[in-house]
Amino acid sequence: AQSVTQPDIHITVSEGASLELRCNYSYGATPYLFWYVQSPGQGLQLLLKYFSGDTLVQGIKGFEAEFKRSQSSFNLRKPSVHWSDAAEYFCAVGATENAGNMLTFGGGTRLMVKP
């Protein structure tokens, strides 16, 4: 069965600083990988996804992520954080098992942005 680990529960960065959120996955085949963001009281919004091809994926809001098969990682990065980026970020792996395609989520990383 697949699993996702987000080692950092909380991260605080200063506005304008760079950001990297870590994600490690476990899955037997080629994974489909996703990053979602959840703002307070909101649903989940897709930032980006990877399923094949170029291992550096660009997403919305200036985010990017790099798939590294050798490290089983899919870390999310942003060069300059804005106060509006404060939210909870979830990494997920998608799989097609038993004719379904459920998402397995990591525990999430809560990002706080200092002015």
Partner 1 sequence: DSGVTQTPKHLITATGQRVTLRCSPRSGDLSVYWYQQSLDQGLQFLIQYYNGEERAKGNILERFSAQQFPDLHSELNLSSLELGDSALYFCASSVGLAGRETQYFGPGTRLLVL
Nearest CA-CA partner of 113 in 14, 33, 28 = 14
Nearest CA-CA partner of 31 in 93, 110, 101 = 93
Nearer to partner 1 among residue 2 and residue 113 (C-beta): 2
- The nearest distance, CB 97 to partner 1, in angstroms, is 7
Q: How many CA atoms lie within 13 A of 62 on its CB side?
A: 11
Phi/psi for 102 (5° steps) reads -70, 155
Nearer to partner 1 among residue 13 and residue 31 (C-beta): 31
Nearer to partner 1 among residue 44 and residue 86 (C-beta): 44
Question: β-strand 56-58 against 24-26: which pairing, if any?
Answer: unpaired
Phi/psi for 27 (5° steps) reads -160, 140
Chain residues binding partner 1 by CB under 8 A are: 32, 34, 36, 42-46, 49, 51-52, 90, 94-108
- The nearest distance, CB 77 to partner 1, in angstroms, is 20
- The nearest distance, CB 49 to partner 1, in angstroms, is 6
- The nearest distance, CB 18 to partner 1, in angstroms, is 26
